[in-house]
Each structure stands twice: as C-alpha cells, then as structure tokens.
A and B are shown apart, each in its own frame.
Chain A
Amino acid sequence: MLNSLKLQDLRKKAAQALDQRVRIITAGLGINELRAALRGDPPTERPNPRYKVHTISFLFHIRPRYYERGSTIFAHTFRLGFFTTFAFVVETITGLILMIFYTPSPSEAYGSILNLLSNVPFGSMMRDLHRLGAEAMVIFTALHMLRTFLTGSYKKDRSFTWLTGVILLGITLFLSFSGYLLPWDQLAYWAVTIGTSMAEAMPLIGNQANLLLRGAPDIGAGGLLRFYLLHVVLLPLAAILVLSIHYYKVAREHGISQPAHIEEGKASPEEMKNAKQRIDYIPDLLTHEVFLTALGMFLLVAAIAFNIYGPAPLEHIANPQQTPLDTKAPWYFWWLQGMLKLGDKTLMGVILPGVMVAILVGIPYIDRNPHRSMFKRPWAVGAGLLATLVIVVLSYMGLPEFGIPHAAASRIIQDIIPEEGLGPLRAVPFDQLQPGVYEVGGTAPKNLCPDLILGPDQPRGCPELTEVFKEFNDRIIRATTVANLPKHERLPNVEAVMLIEDWQRDLRKVTMRILWDDVDTEARKTYERHVYLHRFHGGE
C-alpha cells in the first residue's frame, strides 16, 4: 500500500516535471495542451494557454493570435505573401550555404562555381534552389502586388503598407539582379554591364552613379565586390527591415484584408457572422503554414530532382574583351530591355521607369474611389490589367529575336553553333561528326556520311549531323534564292561550307564559312566561325 502510494507520487512528480519542461520549450503549452493542439482539439485549460504563447515567445509575439475567417479564404489571398516570405527564407538559407564556397574576386569567382558544381555534394542543387527560389520570389512578389491591387487592399489604412510593398518589390528585383553578376560568366557580366549602363544614363549624376556602382568605369574586381556586398549584406538587411515593417502593419494594425463585400459590411448576416469567426493561430494557422512550407519545399526539390526547369546556366568565364552576339537580361527585366529598344537610354531606362515607380507608390493617393470591390472601380482595374498587358508585351519586345536586324551570315551560324549554350550542332553525338568538307548545294543530301558505321547494330550514316547540315543548307539557300527578303537577310551569289577536322584525341574542329556579295557594295564578303568540340562537352 505504502509502496504503491509512493510510486503514484513519483509518477505524478515526473509528469509534473515533464509538463514544466514542455511548458518552457513551447512557451506556455503544457503536455496535455500540446497534445490537444496537435490533434486539433479545443484548449484544455482556461484562460486559453495558446494565446499565452504569443506573449512569451519572441517568434510568436509578432504573429496574431487569430485571423478572422474572412481573411483566410484561399481564393482571396492565394497565400502569395506567405510564399514570398517562404522564398526569402529559402534564399537566405541556400545563400548562406553558397557563401561558404564562393570567393568574390574576378580571378576566383568562376572557378569557385565550377568547384561547387563538380566537387561539392548537393552543390549544384543548392545553386539551383537558390536560383529557383529567387525567380519564385520575384513571381510571388509581383503576383502578391497584383492581387492586392485587384482586391483594392491598398486603400485607406493600408496605403503605408502598400508603400512598403512597393519598396520590397524594388529590393527583390535588386536582390535578384545583384546576384546575377556573382558567377562571373559571360551571361552575368554582359547582362549587368547593360543594366548598370542605365545608371550611367541618369541625368547630371550619371557618371558618379556609375562609378559608385561599378567601382570603376567598367565592371571589374571593385564592381564584383560591391555587387557581392549589396547582395549578401545591404539588400538582405534592407529586405528584413522593410519586411518587418510591412508585416507588423498587417499583423498589428489592419490585418489581412477580407473580401470587399465582407469588409464593407454588404454580405448577408449569416455570411458576416461566419467571416467574423476567429481562427486561432495555434493550432490552425500554424499547421497550415507548416503544411505550406512542406509543400513549397517539396515543389522546389521535385523541380530540381526531376530537372523540370533545367539547371542554372553557366556560360564561359566573363571576358570583357568579347561582347557576345546575343545578350539577354534575366526574364524579369525583359520589359526594361524592351523599353530600351523604343528610345533613348535616359528616357526609357531612367525617366520612364522612375515615373512607373512613382505611379506605383502613388496609387493609393491617385485612386480616390472609396469602393474596394473590383466591379465598382472599372477604371482602376482596367488600368491595372492594361499595365500588366503592357509589361507582358514589353517583355516580348525585350527578347533578342525582336526588333534587332541580324546580318544573315552571322545569324545562321550563331543559330547552329551559338557562342554560348548548346545549339543544334553541339547536340550532335561526337562520333557522328565525320571529318570532311561539306559544301552547301541546291538540295541537302539525304545522308551526309553514307559510309560511317557507328556500331554493329546501328544504321550507317550520321542522321543528326545530316539534320543540322540540312538546316544550314536550307537557310543559306533560302537567303540566296528568296527575292523579297530584307537587305540584311540576303546572301546573293553565296558559297558556304562546313568543314570538320580531327584535331586531337576526342577533339574535332568545325569551321563554318559563308562567302557572299554585299548587297550594297557588291564586294565579296566572308564570315566564318571556328569551333572546337570535345567528346565530353555535355549538354547544358
């Protein structure tokens, strides 16, 4: 009897001690309460200990105790703000890991990326995650803003939050852009050279702004270090600061917006009652956020493991002496590249984007319409949709294919064997590159190398090389025979040849040469490119 009493006593004591530990770790939840919360049961104690967490815990004190049901409707927010923050956290973590392997100097940077890819387990996954997360962050930020605009959630009390949001959009774009330079390859170097040249186009202070950003008239060691520090210190700190302000306004002042008809009190009494219902942060919203995080991580990892978006590109090392034929900004700046094609750099690259930012900032003050519902503000919604459409069209115009006249000879060769990236000829299996001289004639041969035997069970010939040569042949013939082409696309009196030579073990040299009469001067002109192809060059 005495023994069993003692045992009960001991068990009670142990349970109490455990409960206390759990309360410390969870900042207020006892063990029974934790269990109930995880099961989705109602609180076990009064007053609700789940609210206590929001007072004790630092991380939870910035989160609201509950949302009203109206602001949790999925089709109203699409969780875009959450996913933007999620992407930012992914960027911070993968970025810290990448920093371990990176050296911000022109002589080391490119090599450190090569080392990351070929010598660090999960190194290329970290790089791909970082790139995918960055692009996701840009997309989510933009969509989040579009959603806020369409639901009219920038009005009245929320106008300051809108301003911080516009600043965050800018920070996000500059974060992506500053990271673009760091691999120090041709793609990075020239995209950033073009990007920073807009700073140079600023009236009055252009030269100073350019020097401040690049550290020298051209991007070099100074510029790389500046972009690195912007990318890993200044901009992230600014993002954290503004994000905190942005979120604090939402959490503490005006809450996440609810659909217009609810917030304006125009819904049926029953719907209103339902929308006012409180949904506690613990456990409902917390579980939801953890679930979304798991979903986000799964989608990112799956996209990389199944190679859905392709690995982050890495071109040849930056070469300030060699401007590539095709330079392309990252897709989220194509609209700017499109605008630059329309006019002067100062007007299109500085003044107009400045006006666009001013309009974005001023939207809550320009739009005096008190209504929030989309249907009661047709002008605002129409203007917003029009602006979105304009950005899409400008982005299309920003593509290198648009509006830049390419001389036929260099264009044809660049399309078949581009300076960077794979292109059709590099995709041909090495063994099919049979050495020889292949001349362009009227009709391309059905089989370029009829005597080539690649293996016992394989058909004779080189189908893929034949295909590439056919493209070369047909485009040359088209440029010389079709009469009404624009001047720069014509190749009168053309002779063209593709020459493949054995150069070294596992290395072949391909020469592509085009001779033609210049349309204006009738002088004989030549364009040729020599490319060396190694057996293990590999795909992109």
Chain B
Amino acid sequence: MGRATLLVVLGASVVLGTMNLQINQRSEQAMENMVSYFERTLARDLANQAAEYLLTQLADSSSWRVPTLTRLPVDLVDVADAHSAYFSIRDTTLRTNGENRSAIKLVVEATYGRQMHTVVVLADSLFGIVPPTVRGAFTANGPLDQTISDMQIDGRDHDENGNLIRNSGVFGVSSGTVFTNTQNAQIGGTDGAGIDRPMSYPEDPRIIEQNYPWGGAFPDNPDKVLGLPEGTLKTIAQSGEAGSQYVTDPKYLRFPLRGITYVELPAGVSWKGAKLGSDPSGVLIVHNTSVNARVENISTSNNTPFRGLVIADYMFHLHLDVLGAILLLSPNLERVKECKGNQDHKVFYSQKTIKQATQLIVKKGSGWKGRVPIIGWRE
C-alpha cells in the first residue's frame, strides 16, 4: 500500500512537473510572442510615423533629398530607447505604360527591440496639381468660336518641350456652350475614352466637349478653379514668393514672369498689346471681381512659349504659344471680332507644366496629404 502510494505520488509529481514545465514553456513562448508582437507593432508604427513626418518635410521642400540611409533624430519620432529609424529619400525612375516616369523613393527602416519594419513610399516628382476644371487645352464657360481663331489647339498631353505623351491628355476644347470651329482651327486632344486624336480640321468631334454643365456653376474666380479658399492666389502673388507678382496695372510687371502673376484690372479695362516677356511660366491670372478683365493681343518675346496655366476672364488675339492650358472665366467671350493669321501659334496641353506651375500653391498647405502625390506605399 505504502509502495503504491509512493508510486502514485512520484507519478503525479512527474506528470505535474512535466505539465508545469510545459506551462512555463508556453507561458514563456506567449510572453515572447507578446513582446515580439509589441515590438513589431511599435516598429511598424515607428516606420509609418517617420514616413509621414518625412513626407511632410518633403511637401515643404520638394527638392529635399537624402540619398544615403540616415538615422532619424530620436526626439522626432517620440518613443523611448530600444529603437532606431533610418531613412533615405532619392530620385528614381519608374517605367509605366512603356514610358519612363521620374519619381521620388522614400525608404524608412525602423527597429524596435529585435523587430524591424520597412516602409517604401513612391511619390511623383512633380508636386503640383492639374485642377479638374482644366477639361481641355482651352476651357471656357462662354463661346470659344471666335477666341480660338485659327490656332493649333491640342489637348493631348505634352512635356515641357512640346513632345507628345500618349493617351493622358484632355479634350481639345471644353465649353459651357455650343462650339463651332468657325476659323478652321486644327484641333486635337484625348477623348473621353482616353484615346489620343491628332490635330485636324475638321476636328474629331470626340475631342470637343460642348455644353458642359459644371455642376451648375462654372468657377467665377481663379481660386475656385484651383479649389482654394477665395483670396489665396492673390495673397501668394502679393507675397512675391518664387517671383510671384500682383499688379493692378500691367506696366509694373517685372520679367520674366514666374510663380503666380496676378493682374487685377479695373472693370471693363483691356490689357491691349500684352507682352509677357521672354520664357514666361507659372500661373498667369488676369481677372477682376466683375469677371470682365480683358487681355488682347497677347504675345511673348522671342517666340518663347508660356509654360503653365493661364486663367483670364476674357482673351482675344492670342499671338503666343502656350504649353499648359488656358481657362476663361467670363460667359461673355468674343462674339463679333475676328482673328486671323494665327495658324503658327498653338495651345498645347501639358500636365507637366501645369503641375510645375501649381507646385507653389500646393506647397502652401499643411501636412503631406494632398500635397505629396503618392504613387505607392509598401510595407
């Protein structure tokens, strides 16, 4: 009996000991897993937090690059000890649709304890925007029949030198009214299905947008065109940032035009014989609150094109090339006068020059969302 009891006790001890061992092992494993999960979570949070912080820096300074892996200062990532975050920001090239596209690659490697998490963010190297209101190389609320004259209008996308970029453009002409190509202009563009239609006369009807309703309200000031609070563009122009200018009399303009050039003319006054100097670029605004500021006989020096976005109330006699887009705000565009002998001038849509022109506006925001054009985010 005594021996049997002893055996039972011994057996029970062995079983309990084994169980205890196993419980301890599992407990340790669970603890290990928990710590590992905790570290992994913190490393991931740290990497994402660092990426967001770096993207905000990048939004403020789009030319900022750190080509070698560099440690992020501890106080910036706001967690204690046992961690580190390294990052690099460099230019890269992506190949999409058979074409090279320059991009910015941000890599963040964050470590917490024994866990490391890597975040790779790809962003477009151009931080500007193409406002959705730019629906054509020439976009207007009113009739464009007389305004476009016999110019070459091409809504297909072009680079800053006028080279074609395939199937990524806009309409040739987009108007809130009916459009008739009265002066046999050569018009091309990208149709609603995203297919390029070369310039021709008569033009392919698929690259002309007529009677576009604008959701009932065509923008009646330049800020609305860019989706900004009213007065933003004028404030930037008045700040003089990046060569921006605000004038109420064009004779005070300084050349070359850069940044935001805001010409606010008195009601009904026309800027006749407008000279934009050599190699102008940016956003050119000719507007007043009555939406009747006029620009007539506009040209540049040395036949250099204007690169960027032109927003005006009314324009006529356009003797210049534009690489970007033109948007006219007034419903009362030219209906009586004629403009001829303009076949050698062109308005070619260019996403790139518009983005370059609007970079300054995008830079004005806060945070990074909506300011850094993210292409991809991989963890």
**A and B interact physically:** no
